[in-house]
Structure 1
Amino acid sequence: MALADSIPGVSGGTIAFILGFYDEFVNSLHNFISGNKSQRINALRFLSKIGVGWITGFILSVIFITSIFEKNIYEISSLFLGFIIASIPLIIKSERRTLSERKNIIFLLMGIVLVFTMTYFNPISNSGNSFSIRSENIGLILGIYIFLSGMIAISAMVLPGISGSTILLIFGLYTPILNGIKEVLRLNLEYLPGIIIFGCGVLIGVLVTVRGVRSLLRVYRSQTIYCIIGLMIGSIYAVIMGPLSLETPQDPMNIYSFNIVFFIFGCVLVPALEILKIVLKNKNPELQS
């Protein structure tokens, strides 16, 4: 989940969905925030198992990805496309009954248009200006922008669909945020205010999002799944245009910069996770529930 959340493509929620514990994940978040004492204790037990692995994986991902992301943007973007394209059929397969009950194509189109619009009209990418989140660069407008981006990004991470990192890529904050986290880990406190603002947005986003996502999946599951698939389809365009939002903007990915080897690897990795889920369930009958 940490790897998925730290790279543009599919979200950690998608990984949880593929591995079969997404509903328990969302319910645990909801119970931890607004449940009774017993529910909070049970939720904490479940979330702590994910949390330790997520934090460890995210730190390792940040250290690794920031060192190669800009230098190998087209290879990594090809990998992201593989993640996205391989994940869409898996979600359709797992939600086949829900999707067949009602044909909510309008919500599919809404998801596609939403991501396309955010990418096309992204003010950071379209400005062509590089920036960082050092404290000296953060004014009121950029601070609000970082805060809102954190809220929206964590909302995407909770949903099984578009990655929160893809949202940051669309908003032109992916590389600045990852570099900021990496610098803070190196005890460079110039980046700490920006990370704190982003973290506050994430916390508020969790509080606002979890209950809404849980309700949508319970009451309007078909519409929500169609919209999620639309978000994933739209994120293909976001990843292709992603190089524009780097600190040193580069050309969008095209047929010549596309890397088929990394794309195939991305396509293979996601189904491999579903196979892993089946193997684990066969070895541990308790996971069947």
Structure 2
Amino acid sequence: MAKSVGSYLFNAVRGGAVGASEALPGISGGTVALIVGLYDKLIGGAGHMVSGIKRYVTDVPRGRGPERAREQFRMVDWSVLVPALIGMALFLVGAAVVLAPLVEAYPQYAYAIFFGLVLACLWVPYTGSGKPWRPWHYLVALVFAAAAFGVTGLPGANLPTHPVIVFFAAAVAICALVLPGLSGSFILLTMGLYEPTINAVGDMDFVYLGVFALGALTGLSLFVKLLQFLLENFHHMTLVVLTGLMAGSLRALWPWQDEDRAFVAPTDVPVTVALMVLGFAVVVAAIVWERRKLDREAARGESAPVSA
């Protein structure tokens, strides 16, 4: 059945939310993809695209490259992926120009909203597999939460903007795009490359952006296949790990910390807590809406007449 224009716009907006989040330190694009229901589509689609390109290249000498590549490409839900990627790119640039300066000007308030968003979003991977958690699952999640807590508390470095460094930094940071709980922008901030990257977007520095894009593509092609394999073969345990990573990464969004990521005494508590609650409520509303939508679709499916 053909998709409506509204459906394409909706997927573009969902992708835009993921793209905008990647311009903001501390906010994981993977987390936002979970919130808006794009995560499985993005990981699965990217995985099939990587496989298709690989098969096209490796099977060309045997004359089966194009055919085997098309098999993988047909498994991608292009009606979701293409609008989402377009929206992601457009909103990423817009967020880098508009939202990033606001976050820098009002970091405590911005982090308060994002803290509430991510806190509520923990429910998504926690219940995503539909299987109960056993005591050792909580232990595994705790270990990864502690690791994420430690990483997000590291002081920032100041690496030079040499093309080789930018390439490898992009390769590492892009992994956070598909890994809920870790922010690609936050990783760049830790390396001291966040501001140069944001400036390159605003200044249209195509040399810097080209090197960054090449590194990001390399990192994504290597990591996304691993994540796709884990989700397809160890779905519940992968979600346990992701839940822990997301919980530990909340440390990066704690509103009361200084530029060196040291905790400071709370200030302006009523407004900050209210913004936390607002962010939390937005995600809860989205989860409830998505649940009711799925319930309605299931009810329509059960009531549909069965053809002979």
Aligned mates of 1:173, 1:218 — CA distance in 2? 34
Q: Which residue of 1 aligns with 2:101?
A: 67
Which residues in structure 2 correspond to 1:81-230 (within 5 Å)?
A: 81-97=115-131, 99-100=132-133, 103-124=136-157, 138-139=161-162, 143-184=163-204, 189=205, 192-230=206-244
How far does residue 45 in structure 1 lie from its aligned partner after superposition?
Answer: 4.1
The answer as to whether partners of 1:104 and 1:226 remain within 8 angstroms in 2 is: yes
In the aligned structure 2, how far is the partner of 1:151 from the partner of 1:50?
21
Deviation at 1:243, TM superposition (A): 4.7
Q: Equivalents in 1 of 2:20, 2:283: separation in Å?
A: 12
Match of 1:261 in 2: 274
- Give the CA deviation at 1:254: 4.1
Three-state SS of the structure 1 residue aligned to 2:105 is coil
Instruction: Tell me how far 1:20 sits from its aligned partner.
Output: 3.7
**CA deviation after TM superposition for structure 1 residue 34, in Å:** 1.0
Is 2:73 the partner of 1:40?
yes
Q: Which residue type is aligned with residue 266 of structure 2? A: I
> How far off is 1:244 after superposition?
2.0
Aligned to 2:31, what secondary structure does the other structure show?
Answer: helix
Distance in 2 (CA, whole Å) between partners of 1:64 and 1:106 is 41
Q: Deviations over 1:70-110 (max 9, x none)?
A: 2111111212211221111233133341x526733343233
- Aligned with residue 248 of structure 2, among 229, 234, 242: 234
Q: CA deviation at 1:215?
A: 1.0
| Partners of 2:119 and 2:137 in 1: CA distance | 20
Q: Sequence identity, in percent? A: 23
Structure 2: tracts of 5 or more residues without a match: 1-17, 53-68, 302-308
Q: Assess, with a 3 A threshold, how the Cα gap between structure 1 residues 107 and 177 changes in structure 2: closer, same or farther.
A: farther
Aligned partners of 1:230 and 1:211: how far apart in 2? 21
Q: CA deviation at 1:111?
A: 1.9
Q: Number of matched residues?
A: 264
Q: Which has the higher contact order (CA 8 A, sep 6+)?
A: 1
Q: So what's the TM-score if we normalise by structure 2?
A: 0.72
How far the C-alpha of 1:155 sits from its partner, in A, is: 1.2
Q: Relative to 1, partners in 2 of residues 1:22 and 1:199: Cα closer, same or farther, differing over 3 Å? A: same
Query: What letter corresponds to residue 234 of structure 1 in structure 2?
Result: G
List per-residue Cα deviations over 1:6-60 (Å, max 9, x = no partner).
Answer: 3244533333334444323222111112133143155244321211121222222
Q: State the partner residue of 1:244.
A: 259
Contact 1:9 / 1:239 at 8 angstroms: preserved in 2? yes
Q: Does 1:7 align with 2:24?
A: yes
**TM-score calculated relative to the size of structure 1:** 0.76
Following the alignment from structure 2 to structure 1, what is the Cα–Cα distance between the partners of residues 120 and 284? Answer: 7
Counterpart residue identity of residue 197, structure 1 = V
Letter in 2 for 1:226: V
Query: Could you tell me how far apart the structure 2 residues matched to 1:120 and 1:112 are?
Result: 12
- In structure 2, the residue matched to 1:134 is none
Q: Is the 8 A contact 1:10 1:83 kept in 2?
A: no
Amino acid at match of 1:274: I
**Larger C-alpha radius of gyration, 1 or 2?**
2
Moved more, 218-227 or 165-174: 165-174
CA contact (8 A) 1:33 1:40 kept: no
Alignment check: 8 A CA contact 2:23 2:96 kept: yes
